[in-house]
Structure 1
Amino acid sequence: MGVIGAPAGLLEDWAADGSGKNKTVGVLLVHGYTGSPASMRPWAEYLNQRGFTVRVPLLPGHGTKPEDLNEVKWEQWPAKVEAELAELFKTCSKVFICGLSMGGGTTLNVATRYSNRISGIILVNPMIHVAMVSPQLAFVLSRFQKMRKSVGDDIKRPGISEWGYDALPTRGIHQLLIMLKYTRERLHDVTVPMQLFHSVDDHTLPVSNTEIIMKGVGSRIKQRIELTNSYHVATLDYDAEIIFENSKIFIETHAAN
């Protein structure tokens, strides 16, 4: 569908303070490649309504035009997440990171360095590799074709959009694959409790991504939940309530520890 016509404010950084007993529990929600904060807002609003302090950043290169994503270096994405974490740490004693797709890969990247400070991570159809496409191959391909067909809005529910790009910037993909390769080699450094949701019918990422992450992370506590009625952008799909409700239980459980 693209970003044109998106409701006002939906493609920008968004934050809301919590209330009550959950006010000092912070949750940072990270969208996917070519996506936008729109894919995470309903989840963030659900948690905020239950008292949690939430932040939903717009990742660099997103929310404007696809060409901008070809100008970003991969380090900018985790840097943005870490800046948002710093804001949450100012008022929150417990902090969790949630990531969708590439946002899951970015969450894992940050968790390799912050496992001693955050209380848990929640991943939805997370990305850690593209089978048989190395960063080197992606670099070569990106020199011949700057844009490819969009993979966005892989949603089973009709009429729903994540308000992402309608094209796939290939130089950005090269940067993404560098980040994922770096992160995959360090998954053992992720030691926080992890909850992972996986759509059985995902047209964007194969199940190998989930399997690599489940096997590779160093977390002692790791839970995998299958989603049977959603495609890739499950946070906006039929199984969204399963994600929201189970994540709330996970957060409450590990915030109490």
Structure 2
Amino acid sequence: MPRPVAVAPEDLPLRLMPAAPARRDHCVVLLHGFTSTPASVRAWAEGLAAGGSPVSVPLLPGHGTRWEDLAATGADEIRAAVRAVVDLELARHGRVVMAGISMGGALALDAAAHRPVAGVLVVNPALRFASPLAPFAPLLAPFVPTVAPIADDIADPTARERAYPRTPVAGVAAVGHIQ
């Protein structure tokens, strides 16, 4: 039985509503990247809300706890969670705009292919891996469970990204199935 793991408050899902008066006939569903959390896109979400859009930022399955949880999470589970959020926001608002960064961008495009969204905005969508070893992740995962983290890979040395201290190779395989 897996041990329970608490999610840090800053990593919890976000739901931001703009100050009145604001249009509420749409919602932006904003998706974080691989091994990250809603905290990584909080400033983006706040900017969208300040501009008048309700924003929903889910914590994707396998994220925000420990890398072992992500290693045990498949692409179908992540996709299903995103589609459930989209369905919920469509019921609440009538229109949804998808947005995401990296893996979240790939998931936003995937959701747009399967749900009637009004638009899509992606930043650096993870459409393919640069590493020639990535396609072998499913075979490597039992022997190499983790690799170096992908967090804090921003050129600005003062920028800090909340993410796992290791990257689970099984998680890389799951992202490969989303691409």
What is the TM-score when the length of structure 1 is the normalising length?
0.62
Q: Does 1:47 align with 2:48?
A: yes
CA offsets per residue over residues 74-98 of structure 1, 9 Å max, x none? 1111211111112211232321011
SS of the residue corresponding to residue 10 of structure 1 reads helix
Of 92-101 and 157-166, the range deviating more from structure 2: 157-166
SS of the residue corresponding to residue 22 of structure 1 reads coil
CA offsets per residue over residues 19-42 of structure 1, 9 Å max, x none? 434222210100111111111111
SS of the residue corresponding to residue 126 of structure 1 reads coil
Aligned to 2:4: none
CA contact (8 A) 2:13 2:59 kept: yes
Aligned to 1:188: none
In the aligned structure 1, how far is the partner of 2:22 from the partner of 2:65? 37
CA contact (8 A) 1:36 1:162 kept: no
Q: Does 1:100 align with 2:73?
A: no
Aligned to 1:59: 60
Q: Does 1:75 align with 2:76?
A: yes
Aligned to 2:146: 147
Aligned to 2:3: none
CA contact (8 A) 2:11 2:59 kept: yes
CA contact (8 A) 2:134 2:172 kept: no
CA contact (8 A) 1:69 1:172 kept: yes
CA contact (8 A) 1:71 1:171 kept: yes
In the aligned structure 2, how far is the partner of 1:166 from the partner of 1:142? 17
Q: Counterpart of 1:44 in structure 2: which amino acid? A: A
For the aligned residues, what is the CA RMSD? Answer: 1.7
Of 83-92 and 64-73, the range deviating more from structure 2: 83-92
State the Cα distance separating 1:158 from its structure 2 match. 3.2
CA offsets per residue over residues 184-234 of structure 1, 9 Å max, x none? xxxxxxxxxxxxxxxxxxxxxxxxxxxxxxxxxxxxxxxxxxxxxxxxxxx
In the aligned structure 1, how far is the partner of 2:101 from the partner of 2:93? 23
Describe how 1:115-134 pairs up with structure 2 within 5 A: 117-131=116-130, 132-133=132-133
CA contact (8 A) 1:22 1:50 kept: no
SS of the residue corresponding to residue 47 of structure 1 reads helix
Q: Counterpart of 2:157 in structure 1: which amino acid? A: P
CA offsets per residue over residues 125-146 of structure 1, 9 Å max, x none? 11111243464x1111112110
| Structure 2: tracts of 5 or more residues without a match | 1-6
Aligned to 2:175: 176
Aligned to 2:16: 16
Aligned to 1:231: none
In the aligned structure 1, how far is the partner of 2:78 from the partner of 2:156? 29
Q: Counterpart of 2:105 in structure 1: which amino acid? A: G
> How many residues are matched?
171
In the aligned structure 1, how far is the partner of 2:167 from the partner of 2:134? 17
In the aligned structure 2, how far is the partner of 1:156 from the partner of 1:92? 38
